Amino acid sequence: MKKIFNLLSVILLLCAVIFGCKKEESTNVIAVPSAATLAFKSSAPAVVLTTANDAANVVTFSFNAANFGTAVVPTYSLEFDLPADTIGANAWANAVVVKLPEGALSKVYTGADFNSLTGVQLNLPTGTVSTLAVRLKAEVNQNTGVASSIKPVYSTLTLTVNPYKVIVEYPALLVKGGNSWKTPGVRTNGFLLASAKFNSKYEGYLNLPNADGFGGDAFQLVSTLDANKVYGWGGTATTMSLNSGNLYLTPSPAYLKVNADVDALTITYTPVKFFISGDDNGWSTSSTPLNFNAATGKLEAANVALTAGKTFVFTCNGGYDICYKADAKGTLVFGGTGGTGVNIPVTKTGVFTVTLDLSAGDGNYTYTIK
């Protein structure tokens, strides 16, 4: 009887072990969830962005936690792109990727942040309604952070967005043409120097037309802070004084970078020629010039071949002392001597017209790739 009891005990123990193993084994089986179970959604089907809703929450993207059938911690990211870039061999390759913090099941955007993402990073046209594709990616990474063999789960939605162009009206010195040079009587891009730091230093780019035919052009600078302060000739080509004769810059016709300091009463100017220098042209500082378009007041280069994932810089006069790069938000910044920024990333492959707009004065320099 004792032997039978011992035999039964062994059998029961083996069953418990086998059952326990099966149970443990079953908890480690990965079951990839369907996209529908994520219930990915946005709080608004259409977003119109203005300065009035900069600080307000304009859209929230939310979803359910992805259940992979076992105790894993998924990571989530949102991918933003144009619908046309979400199909084909390179689908979503140009997307702006926003990684979410661990445990986050939603992402809230203020108007300012969403405008930066859509109008700057994605370079959507401002003042125009565009369709935006947003893809949620749920994935399981290894403890090292390396992607695992488990396939990610995706869920996509679309909404429309109308971003606005961010322009700060900085204090300015307005160009008042002298002699035969006729200039606008009101603040106009292309005819001003701006003070981006709201101090005594002003900067801008002027196109001298050689209005008198003497190889230079005469003008004065009128302060937007005090119209009675008119800066003119200071006795030399690099000095200014109040309420005096015309400044005279040479050579002309020419496109010049002009810097003025109303405290030091100095003015400096440099004739400039800009180029696109990057991976796609071997970082040549002369092969891809930008030409001044008198009708728009902007610098343009047509038929420029660019490759997604590559980078470039706007260089000047065959070097980098005066050049423009981008900051973390994609805004154009001075990258030359004493400057900041990183090389400008290319998000799409193709042949484009690249425009460099320096007409609004320091603080409002922009570029487009279309």
266 with 281, same domain? Answer: no
Residue where a domain terminates, one of 162, 193, 225: 162
What is the spatial distance between Cα 50 and Cα 111, in angstroms, rounded to a whole number? 7
**Structural domain for 323, as ranges:** 274-369
Q: Which amino acid is present at 239?
A: T
Say yes or no: 46 and 154 in one domain: yes
Whether 194 and 229 map to the same domain: the answer is yes
In a domain, 303, yes or no: yes
- pLDDT of amino acid 143: 65
Distance CA(85)–CA(178), nearest Å, equals 51
pLDDT at 120: 74
Q: Residue 140 has what pLDDT?
A: 87
Spatial CA neighbour of 99 closest among 78, 124, 130: 78
Residue 14 inside a domain? The answer is no
235 is a domain residue: yes
Residue 68 lies in a domain: yes
pLDDT for 348 = 85
**In a shared domain, residues 260 and 279:** no
Tell me, what's the pLDDT at 76? 95
| The pLDDT value given to residue 210 | 95
Residue 28 pLDDT: 59
- CB of 308 closer than 8 Å to CB of 351: no
- Residue 365 CA, chain-centre distance (Å), reads 12
Residue 98 sits in the same domain as residue 188: no
> For residue 49, what is the domain's CATH number?
2.60.40.10
Residues 234 and 281 occupy one common structural domain = no
For position 5, what pLDDT does the model report?
Answer: 46
For residues 56 and 167, what is the distance between their CA atoms, to the nearest angstrom?
Answer: 19
CATH label of the domain that carries residue 209:
2.60.40
125 and 225 belong to one structural domain:
no
294 and 361 share a domain?
yes
For residue 71, which of 35, 104, 27 has the smallest C-alpha distance?
27
Last residue of a domain, one of 227, 245, 271: 271
Asked, for residue 42, whether it belongs to a domain, the answer is: yes
b/e map 334-356, b = 16+ CB within 10 Å: bbbeeeebebbebbbbeebebbb
Give a yes or no: residue 88 inside a domain.
yes
Q: Are residues 207 and 181 in the same domain?
A: yes
Is 248 in the same domain as 284? no
For 308-340, give the DSSP string.
Answer: TT-EEEEEETTEEEEEEEE-TTS-EEE-STT--
Q: Does residue 25 lie in a domain region?
A: no
180 in the same domain as 97: no
Q: Which of 214, 239, 271 is the last residue of a domain?
A: 271
Residue 139 sits at the vertex; the CA angle it makes with 137 and 142, to the nearest 5 degrees, is 150
> Is 114 a member of any domain?
yes
Instruction: Count structural domains, the chain.
Output: 3
Regarding whether 295 and 195 lie in a shared domain, the answer is: no
Residue 30 has φ and ψ, to the nearest 5°, of -80, 130
CA distance 99 to 122: 16
Q: Residue-wise pLDDT tens for the chain (370 aa)? A: 445 545 545 455 555 544 444 444 445 577 888 999 999 999 999 999 999 999 999 999 999 999 887 778 899 999 999 999 999 988 998 898 999 998 899 999 999 999 989 987 887 888 889 999 999 999 987 766 566 778 899 999 999 999 998 777 899 999 999 999 999 999 999 999 999 999 999 999 999 999 999 999 999 999 999 999 999 999 999 999 998 999 999 999 999 999 999 999 999 999 999 999 999 999 999 999 999 999 999 999 999 999 989 999 999 999 999 999 998 778 899 999 988 999 999 988 999 999 999 999 999 999 999 8
